[in-house]
């Protein structure tokens, strides 16, 4: 089946078998390998992408269902001149160790901050509860999300 | 119709958080998937003559963001919040959760406690049954192969009924419940309990009511002793199993403690009203 | 009730009012649910690699006292880091491994003929085709693919390479393996008994031992005012690296093998590959890249030789990535320990002698057990000056998932035991647990259980400072 969708602002299409997940479509057909396969059953969050403004486990969404929708992956966050504030703070605060959880973590954080730029620690924890990290112990990740939120809301206040 | 014609190897796809996983584990079992998640009849939340209507394909995130649900049945919001994590709640639907029918389904107890009614549509028409009757066994509901769960109705008289839901999992996020408890009750003018409901999850083959415990509390004063007694009776009604998450004994202990707490909190809410 | 409901609905709850509900904080709907559109840089398409200035922090390192940042942090955050599973090569195909469901069984036959006829399948492989079908960092007791005996549920028995992962998995179900189940042993204490089923018959289940002796422990125990005994047990732990094991193998026309692998120890890996493939090491190139979490679980080869041979058979690059299920049943795990502690003390809490027996559940194959046994044994007495000591440590085979290296190599297990034991004794003697430790801790110049003269010993100061900072005295009042 042909799946046509908007990925990071560009219209893309691919011919996939019906059982193909959105994750496989992105990774294997569109060569966007930022979203990772960590468990393939919806437990780890490494495959998190944003579909029509909502974060989802792309390993649980069939590619066919993403047809006609708008998908944002980690590759769509930076511009050629600037990192997304989350990418900045994750780098600076050492929130990425092996980095495998990073793209999913940042996408989940973005989904949160887009709606709620000044979250409480509790809200951050809750928003990231579907993203596992085995390296960092989460502390720095949470700091980085809070920091990025601060950057984003000051930027907004200025503009 | 597609489902009716191809019953044996066709499945209706809702949020996919369970079914897509099943497909990966046993790819040969399904030949036809029918995506019902976007059908308008299966979506939406709204108040009708009979009560609060929740389309079966409403996601947990939609439930949590719905002003009506927050206002009328906050415990359904609380229960929805305990399902998986944000990403799974954005995909997973309340109907899918009920149809998958695992004993620990998080959405079941708070719906049961409000005497929810489900509407089923099939090739031979529609029918409505109390949610309690919908569950048959682990992963087994009364749905015939040609039937689909369309919507869930919380009867009008139970909107705003004081209720409390508690999930006990090994972790706060992304955990299956060891025990789920939802209680709901009204207080009569003389302070005695009316229409108590105690719904339990993960302690029997299906989500269940603790009917004897309810009876033991009906018409009584909700004092310490009576609430504890109801909690003790509830323990006698369950059939918990030992598994790697918890022993049956631990589940019994949890049911007693949590039933007491859920009743207590419901009473508090009722007396605040 | 009904009128109230209606009122509420008619007032069309405004978003801002939702906050006033009595729902706990976590359930409140954020005040402004209006979605900001996803910012997508359409006008400026991203071209990788990005040419952005280094972050300031990055330039400040390395320097003592500065906050450090990882050199690869930026690429991780951009999703541009290439882990093995992100790599693809022209004509690459995929391998899957069939794993035993039996904990212990004799393999009577393996029939791959039907699998070979499945759509997309290019090759199959069994253990009999592997030049040297055994490997291991210490003892070479683990088959690459079991072909005579399976020793735990999860042992690989056959492999398939196909055009897609799905085709490879589908074909696995067509491989017919006939087993004769054998009695299995799962408890390490059962496994040391004489009549226990032998995991590597005819060899004994006890496959490594270590003894550490210092002074005369029996005499010390006799002289003690009180002797305490307790058994401690720990469980098996899986590393759960978020990146599952993954490798790609390419066997070129000159017979040189290139393998990209998530392996952490590439030189050791080349050694094992040379052995199993029956090739000199200089024909083997192993490319290690960024590992998505290791924790000790990616310290030895797993499927690399299988992929290499499948590549040879098909002339294609072959990728093999573990499923999360493979990860749990067939990668290594942390050893469960059974630890018996006997400690003799004086009334004032001074330890006179300690006797320890450690039994390590070594799982089905050795892996890094000897290292774990060594470290666990050396550290078993804890950071305490104990003049009379006897440590006996044994590693035993069981029909369980292989146990190997995991952060600390046995240190966390024994630490759990000796510190719990310490608390129990302090409690029984009515001594403050901190005091009990201060009375026994190493001093500058203390001698370790293995005779090492210790320098720069700061344990007492550390304990005291820590206790002060978190208010130990106040909290125990
Ligand atoms: S890969 Fe999708 S949640 Fe783990
Ligand atoms: S940084 Fe390694 S899993 Fe999070």
pLDDT digits (tens, 9 = 90+) for B9-21: 778 888 888 888 8
Chains that touch C (3 or more CB pairs under 8 A): A, B
pLDDT over 70 (residue B134): yes
Q: Supply φ then ψ for residue B72, to 5 degrees.
A: -85, -40
Per 3-state DSSP, chain A is made up of helix, strand and coil in percentages (nearest 5) of: 40, 15, 45
Mean pLDDT of all residues in chain C? Answer: 90
C346 plus C217 within the same structural domain: yes
Contact C197, C102 (CB under 8 A): no
Question: Each residue of B120-130: pLDDT tens digit?
Answer: 999 889 999 99
If asked whether residues B210 and B124 sit together in one domain, one would say no
Does position C33 have pLDDT exceeding 50, yes or no? no
What does the alpha-carbon distance between residue C325 and residue C442 come to, in Å, rounded to a whole number? 44
Q: What is the pLDDT of residues A85-119, one digit of tens each?
A: 999 999 999 999 999 999 999 999 999 999 999 99
Chain C positions touching B184 (Cβ under 8 A) are none
C-beta A134 within 6 A of ligand 2: yes
Count of structural domains, chain B? 2
Tell me: the pLDDT tens digits for C242-294?
Answer: 999 999 999 999 999 999 999 999 999 999 999 999 999 999 999 998 999 99
Instruction: Give residue limits of the domains in chain A.
Output: 2-76, 85-158
Residue B24, pLDDT score: 82
- Is C129 among the domain residues? no
CB-CB contact of C171 with C115 (8 Å): yes
Specify the CATH number for the domain of residue C376: 3.30.365.10
Taking each helix axis from N to C end, the angle separating C433-440 and C411-429, rounded to the nearest 10 degrees, works out to 110
> Is residue A145's pLDDT more than 50?
yes
Q: Domain A2-76 belongs to what topology?
A: Ubiquitin-like (UB roll) (3.10.20)
Predicted pLDDT of residue C5: 42
The residue that leads in pLDDT, C283 or B38, is: C283
User: Do both B53 and B97 map to the same domain?
Assistant: yes
Atom of ligand 2 nearest to the CA of A97: 1
| Domains contained in chain C, number | 2
Residue that is last in its domain, among C34, C60, C78: C78
Structure confidence at residue C21 (pLDDT): 37
C281/B contact by beta carbon, under 8 A: no
Residue A34 beta carbon below 6 angstroms from any ligand 1 atom: no
pLDDT of residue B2: 53
Segment (H or E) for B94: helix B94-100
Residue with tokens 């047990």: C233
Report pLDDT for C139.
95
**Mean pLDDT, residues B163-183 taken together:** 92
pLDDT of residue C32: 40
CATH number of the domain at B207, please: 3.30.390.50
Structure confidence at residue B4 (pLDDT): 56
Q: Is B85–A18 a contact, with Cβ atoms under 8 angstroms apart? A: no
Q: Residues C265, C299: contact at Cβ < 8 Å? A: yes
Please tell me if the CB atom of residue A26 comes closer than 6 angstroms to any atom of ligand 1.
no
Domain identity same for B8 and B74 = yes
C381, C415 contact by CB (below 8 A): no
Atom of ligand 1 nearest to the CA of A57: 2
What distance separates the 2 farthest-apart alpha carbons in chain B?
61
Tell if the CB–CB gap between A41 and B21 is shorter than 8 Å: yes
Listed residues B134, B158, B182: the one ending a domain: B158
Q: What is the pLDDT of residues C34-93, one digit of tens each?
A: 444 445 455 666 666 677 777 776 666 556 666 677 889 999 999 999 999 999 999 999
Residues B189 and B247 occupy one common structural domain: yes
Best mutation site among C79, C242, C297 for ligand 2, i.e. most ligand atoms within 8 A of its Cβ? Answer: C242
Does residue C392 fall inside a structural domain? yes
Distances from the Cα of C209 to the Cα of C205, C370, C378, angstroms: 11, 8, 12
User: What does DSSP assign to residue C214?
Assistant: E
Q: Given C78, C98, C122, which residue is the final one in a domain?
A: C78
Q: What is the pLDDT of residue B270?
A: 95
What's the average model confidence in pLDDT over B188-205? 96
User: Do the domains A85-158 and A2-76 match in fold?
Assistant: no
- Whether C30 shows a pLDDT value over 80: the answer reads no
- CA gap C162, C172 in Å, rounded: 10
Q: Among B85, B88, B89, B169, which would you mutate to test the A interface (most chain A Cβ atoms within 10 Å of its Cβ)?
A: B85
Span from the CA of A50 to the centroid of ligand 1 (angstroms): 14
Estimate to the nearest angstrom the gap between the alpha carbon of C124 and the chain centroid.
Answer: 29
Assess if residue C306 is contained within a domain.
no
Task: For residues B57 and B92, state if they share a domain.
Answer: yes
Selected residue with higher pLDDT from C421 and B26: C421
Q: What angle do CA A108, A112, A117 make, to 5 degrees?
A: 140
Residue-level pLDDT at C10: 41
Range of the domain at C72: 2-78
Per the DSSP assignment, residues forming a β-bridge with C340 are C231, C357
Last residue of a domain, one of B111, B142, B158: B158
**pTM of the full predicted structure?**
0.89
Position C354 in a domain: yes
> Are A130 and B23 an interchain contact pair (Cβ–Cβ within 8 Å)?
no
**C76: contact with A, CB 8 A cutoff:** yes
Tell whether C213 and C352 lie within a shared domain: yes
- Residues B117, B9 share a domain: yes
pLDDT the model gives residue B78? 95
Q: Are strands C318-321 and C93-99 parallel, antiparallel or unpaired?
A: parallel
pLDDT of B213-250, one tens digit each?
999 999 999 999 999 999 999 999 999 999 989 999 99
- Range among B8-12, B34-38, C439-443 with highest mean pLDDT value: C439-443
pLDDT tier at B7 (50, 70, 90 boundaries)?
A: low
Q: What is the pLDDT of residue B21?
A: 87
Q: Which domain holds residue B9?
A: 2-158
Angle of CA points C325, A60, C84, to nearest 5° = 55
Of C34, C58, C78, the last residue of a domain is C78
> Does B93 have pLDDT greater than 70?
yes
- Of A38, A61, A102, A103, best ligand 1 pocket probe by most atoms within 8 Å of the beta carbon: A38
- Domain A85-158 listed as CATH 3.30.2130.10: no
ipTM of the complex: 0.96
Q: Which of B100, B133, B158 is the last residue of a domain?
A: B158
């Amino acid at each position: 089946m042909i799946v046509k969708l908007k990925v990071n602002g560009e219209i893309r299409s691919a011919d996939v078998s019906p059982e193909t997940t959105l994750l496989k479509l992105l990774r294997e057909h569109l060569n966007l390998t930022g979203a990772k396969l960590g468990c393939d059953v919806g437990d780890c969050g490494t495959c998190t992408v944003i579909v029509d403004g909502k974060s989802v486990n792309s390993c649980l969404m069939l590619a066919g269902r993403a047809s006609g929708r708008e998908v944002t992956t980690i590759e769509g966050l930076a511009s050629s001149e600037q990192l997304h504030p989350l990418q900045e703070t994750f780098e600076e605060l050492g929130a990425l160790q092996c980095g495998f959880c990073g793209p999913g973590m940042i996408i989940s954080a973005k989904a949160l901050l887009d709606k709620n730029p000044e979250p409480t620690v509790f809200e951050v924890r809750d928003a990231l509860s579907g993203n596992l990290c085995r390296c960092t112990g989460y502390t720095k990740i949470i700091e980085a999300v809070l920091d990025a939120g601060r950057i984003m809301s000051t930027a907004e206040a200025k503009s | 119709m597609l489902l009716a014609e191809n019953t044996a190897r066709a499945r209706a796809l809702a949020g996919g958080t369970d079914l897509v996983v099943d497909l990966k584990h046993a790819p040969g079992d399904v030949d036809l998937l029918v995506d019902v998640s976007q059908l308008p009849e299966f979506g939406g939340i709204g108040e009708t003559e009979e009560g609060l209507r929740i389309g079966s394909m409403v996601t947990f995130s939609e439930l949590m963001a719905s002003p009506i649900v927050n206002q009328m049945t906050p415990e359904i919001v609380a229960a929805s919040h305990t399902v998986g994590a944000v990403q799974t709640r954005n995909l997973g639907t309340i109907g899918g959760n009920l149809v998958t029918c695992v004993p620990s389904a998080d959405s079941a107890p708070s719906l049961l406690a409000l005497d929810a009614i489900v509407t089923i549509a099939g090739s031979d028409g529609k029918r409505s049954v109390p949610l309690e009757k919908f569950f048959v066994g682990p992963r087994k509901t009364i749905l015939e192969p040609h039937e689909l769960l369309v919507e869930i109705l919380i009867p009008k008289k139970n909107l705003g009924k004081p209720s409390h839901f508690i999930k006990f999992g090994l972790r706060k996020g992304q955990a299956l419940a060891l025990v789920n408890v939802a209680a709901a009750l009204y207080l009569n003018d003389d302070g005695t309990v009316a229409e108590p409901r105690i719904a339990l999850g993960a302690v029997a083959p299906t989500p269940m009511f603790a009917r004897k415990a309810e009876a033991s509390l009906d018409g009584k004063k909700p004092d310490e002793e009576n609430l504890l007694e109801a909690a003790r009776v509830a323990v006698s009604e369950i059939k918990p199993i030992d598994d790697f998450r918890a022993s049956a004994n631990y589940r019994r202990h949890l049911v007693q403690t949590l039933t007491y707490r859920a009743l207590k909190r419901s009473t508090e809410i009722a007396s605040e009203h | 009730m009904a009128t109230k409901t209606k009122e509420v609905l008619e007032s069309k709850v405004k978003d801002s009012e939702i906050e006033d509900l009595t729902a706990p904080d976590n359930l409140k709907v954020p005040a402004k649910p209006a979605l900001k559109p996803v910012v997508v840089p359409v006008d400026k398409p991203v071209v990788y690699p990005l040419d952005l200035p280094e972050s300031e922090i990055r330039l400040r390192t390395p320097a003592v006292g500065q906050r450090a940042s990882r050199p690869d942090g930026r690429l991780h955050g951009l999703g541009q880091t290439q882990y093995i599973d992100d790599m693809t090569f022209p004509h690459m195909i995929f391998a899957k491994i069939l794993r035993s469901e039996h904990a212990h069984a004799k393999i009577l036959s393996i029939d791959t003929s039907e699998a070979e006829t499945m759509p997309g399948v290019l090759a199959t492989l069994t253990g009999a085709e592997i030049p040297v079908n055994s490997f291991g960092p210490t003892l070479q007791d683990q088959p690459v693919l079991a072909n005579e005996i399976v020793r735990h549920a999860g042992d690989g028995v056959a492999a398939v390479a196909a055009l897609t992962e799905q085709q490879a998995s589908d074909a696995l179900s067509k491989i017919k393996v006939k087993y004769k189940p054998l009695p299995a042993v799962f408890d390490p204490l059962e496994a040391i008994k004489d009549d226990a089923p032998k995991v590597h018959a005819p060899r004994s289940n006890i496959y490594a031992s270590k003894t550490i002796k210092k002074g005369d422990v029996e005499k010390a125990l006799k002289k003690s005012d009180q002797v305490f005994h307790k058994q401690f047990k720990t469980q098996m732990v899986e590393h759960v690296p978020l990146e599952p094991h993954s490798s790609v193998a390419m066997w070129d026309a000159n017979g040189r093998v290139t393998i990209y692998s998530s392996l952490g120890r590439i030189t050791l890996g080349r050694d094992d590959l040379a052995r199993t493939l029956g090739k000199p090491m200089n024909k083997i190139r192993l490319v290690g890249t960024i590992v998505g979490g290791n924790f000790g679980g990616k310290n030895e080869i797993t499927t690399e030789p299988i992929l290499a041979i499948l590549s040879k058979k098909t002339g294609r690059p072959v990728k093999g990535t573990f499923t999360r299920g493979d990860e749990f049943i067939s990668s290594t795990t942390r050893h469960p320990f059974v630890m018996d502690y006997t400690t003799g003390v004086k009334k004032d809490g001074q330890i006179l002698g300690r006797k320890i027996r450690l039994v390590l559940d070594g799982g089905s194959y050795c892996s890094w057990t000897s290292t774990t046994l060594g470290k666990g044994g050396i550290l078993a007495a804890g950071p305490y000056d104990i003049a009379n000591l006897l440590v006996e440590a044994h590693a035993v085979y069981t029909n369980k998932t292989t146990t190997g290296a995991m952060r600390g190599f046995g240190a966390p297990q024994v630490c759990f035991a000796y510190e719990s034991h310490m608390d129990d004794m302090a409690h029984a003697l009515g001594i403050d647990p901190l005091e009990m430790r201060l009375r026994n801790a190493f001093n500058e110049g203390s001698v370790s259980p293995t005779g090492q003269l210790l320098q720069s010993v700061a344990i007492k100061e550390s304990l005291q400072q820590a206790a002060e900072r978190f208010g130990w005295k106040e909290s125990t009042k």
